[in-house]
Structure 1
Amino acid sequence: MSAKLICRLIYLRKVVLSMDEIQNRKLHHIRLALDPRVDFKDHCSEIYREIQLVHQALPGLDFDEVDVKQVFLGYRLEAPIMITGMTGGHPSLVSINKMLATLAEKKRVAIGVGSQRAIVKSNFSEDVVASYRIVRETARSVPVIGNIGLNTLRDIDTDTVIRLVEVIDADAIAIHLNPAQEVIQPEGDTRFSLDVIDKVKELVASLRKPVIIKEVGNGLSMETVRIFHNIGVKIYDTAGACGTNWALVETLRNQPGSSRYECGLKLSEWGIPTPLSVIETRYVAEDSFIIASGGVWDGFKAAVNIAIGADMVGVAKPILKNILDNGLERAEAYLDNYIFELKTAMFLSGARNIGELRSKPIILGQKIVNTMLQRGINPHTYLNNTRRMK
């Protein structure tokens, strides 16, 4: 970890000491989320080794013909990427969100904000709202996605959610599901019973903008997606178990030896790896728009997830780390490299655009095939029909 990043994190830690509980937690989360100990490791790497795009020695096109543009929420993006939400909720985060939004605007990619619960808890304090609104004020020509937890949704009415969308001028609202994080979090809210579905249904019907269902890092299963698809949700962010493990983030906030600490350590590989979550989501929601996030930290992993059934990808931690470490220029270089890798994978697979990539041949390893069969998914039918649908 660089000296610059350590200094910035020390500053964040000092700020933590003088805030209320929700804002305190947000800054603490940022500090811990950048710790490599909270990343998924072995299981996910194994899954990616099980998915192979077929190399084409004669791609049938020139590299310059590869087009990675994607349309999302009515915006034409230069690349199928969303900078997913991690920050917001305190005035000290305005500069970070401004840099993230500047990057999104310059590269013409989508951007999400962190949980807006802090806005609700502050009774829409202007200072708190401003730390989120800076995203839209900076990124005016790309999609901006709001964010609220399922459990926060339980405690507020639909009009309040609509107001959350309006105060930051968002194009959609993501409802995040995070049971693994909440059960380990010292202040966790573990109310995840199905009675909340009626409130989501009401929101889908009332909000004039799309509702997105997302996990935070343990993946969406077909059972979960089916529930929300049945009430009209059409956009999903898988946030699979390949990137930041928020259960481990919360583990580090607990006292060593406590029940939550010991349990959290055992959740180090818990969840559905991102490519498998994409498969399960596409299988039960064929007409949906799928964002593959959760450790999709390079362009080759992006290509794999799009080929397996996603429409675009989401990335957060490496961009935030680059900004905190070396500033906007380094984060921009990271994103340039990411897009070049995606284009290279598409070129070598013979895919001219994102749609074509979803129809190119893929070889699946036996472990993934067995998992699909046990989950009731016919691998041949999925590869040749389902993954191509939308």
Structure 2
Amino acid sequence: MDHSISNRKIEHIDIVLKENVDYNGWCKTIYESIKLIHQALPGINYKEIDLSTNFLKYSLNAPIIITGITGGHVDTIKINEQLAKLVSKHRLAIGVGSQRPLINNRDDKIIESYRVVRKYVKDLPVIGNIGYSTLSKLSVKDIESIIKTIEADALAIHLNPGQEIIQPEGDTDFGYNTLVFIEELLDYLDIPIIIKEVGTGLSRETVSKLYSIGIRFFDVAGACGTNWIMVEKHRCRENVIKQKVADYLKDWGIPTPLSVIETRIEAPDSYIIASGGVWNGLQAVKNLVLGANIVGLAKPVLKKLLIEGFEAVDKYIEEYVETMKTIMFLIGANNVQSLAEKPVVLLEPVSTYLEQRGVDVKQYIERIRSRKWIQ
């Protein structure tokens, strides 16, 4: 058993909870530049607003995923159990943390740290998780094994070059050759593959490459939440050069709303998860209006759970959903699908960024309203 990988999981949680590793860049400005239009006569009854949506063949009460947080250490069993109970209560989706510790490891406690999720989540989506840079060392049989452990409804393959390049034990093989194996998995597996960033966002170039081989599910995990480059900086205690390089990258990445747009442009008929600092209901609605199908969050859920307890995180989800409903009421959206039809104005710096990235803003908004993608 590789205890170093297992122990890293706990170290990551400790750093995320105790250190300042969140993006302090231009996300606030980006969100302020996305203007939803108030409707004095919404034309709907607040009590009839419906946040339900379908995801991976299941019906959710709200378009929310608790994205992959942890697993792989005995101390994470209780965490994943509580997260599973939370999503079960609110009928949301959930992902597990990287399942790399399961490879060549059949320790009962390690297995239970992941399997406990499915134990409490019976009829809702559970998403597996493995790193892109790990795939080249695995077989189809290995992938089948980690899927089976949690009876996963989809497999997230995470792209994290920023994290890996700073991580002391980082694996920096992100060559295109692994795409061949992903294509093989797409043909072989009977569940979808989700391509997921971990906090620095997906660009249209990356999405285009993955879309061309058949990927139709993307989690943008943009640069507005936890900065995993900075998390790994705190683990590079004896490498001053790595620490300095990390400091240069403290604002590195594509903010979540911009990544949603870049992804939708290149993957028009795909299912898009907006995660990466989408930590309140207003941000959630803005991303859904811009082209996402569903939103994901992790850190605030973990922090509330571990510091304040289950009741606090339960209330946080209630507040999140209530905020979404309130914003939807004020823009006249009676369900998640109708958000695509609502007017939105993109001011500076969003409009200039999109222009320089080759996006015709007016054309893009009209494309959203035409709803030419999967719901």
Q: TM-score, normalised by structure 1?
A: 0.93
Matched residues in 2 for 1:389 and 1:310: separation? 12
Q: Which residue of 2 aligns with 1:16?
A: none
When the two structures are aligned, how many residues end up with a matched partner? 372
Structure 1 residues 120-139: aligned runs within 5 Å: 120-122=103-105, 124-139=106-121
Matched residues in 2 for 1:259 and 1:53: separation? 44
Matched residues in 2 for 1:125 and 1:205: separation? 30
Q: Which residue of 1 aligns with 2:187?
A: 205
Q: Which residue of 1 aligns with 2:32?
A: 49
Are 1:37 and 2:5 counterparts?
no
Are 1:297 and 2:276 counterparts?
no
Q: Which residue of 2 aligns with 1:229?
A: 211
Runs of 4+ off more than 4 Å: none
1:373 to 329, 343, 355: 355
Q: Which residue of 2 aligns with 1:8?
A: none
Is contact 1:283-1:386 (8 Å) kept? no
Secondary structure in 2 matching 1:24: helix
Q: Which residue of 2 aligns with 1:80?
A: 63
Counterpart AA for 2:84: A
Structure 1 residue 366 displacement after superposition:
2.5
Q: Which moved more, 1:255-264 or 1:304-313?
A: 255-264
Matched residues in 1 for 2:191 and 2:255: separation? 29
Counterpart AA for 1:212: I
Is contact 1:282-1:386 (8 Å) kept? no
Structure 1 residue 244 displacement after superposition:
0.2
Is contact 2:290-2:368 (8 Å) kept? no
Percent identical pairs in the alignment equals 47
Structure 1 residue 386 displacement after superposition:
4.0
Is contact 2:216-2:271 (8 Å) kept? yes
Q: Which residue of 2 aligns with 1:15?
A: none
Secondary structure in 2 matching 1:159: helix
Matched residues in 2 for 1:244 and 1:102: separation? 24
Are 1:250 and 2:232 counterparts?
yes
Q: Which residue of 2 aligns with 1:263?
A: 245
Q: Which residue of 2 aligns with 1:278?
A: 260
Q: Which moved more, 1:72-81 or 1:157-166?
A: 157-166
Question: Structure 1 unaligned runs (5+)?
Answer: 1-18
Are 1:28 and 2:17 counterparts?
no
Structure 1 residue 35 displacement after superposition:
3.3
Q: TM-score, normalised by structure 2?
A: 0.97
1:175 to 157, 162, 166: 157
Q: Which residue of 2 aligns with 1:3?
A: none
Q: Which residue of 1 aligns with 2:325?
A: 343
Matched residues in 2 for 1:354 and 1:35: separation? 35
Is contact 2:341-2:368 (8 Å) kept? no
Matched residues in 2 for 1:249 and 1:35: separation? 10
Matched residues in 1 for 2:189 and 2:237: separation? 42
Secondary structure in 1 matching 2:158: strand
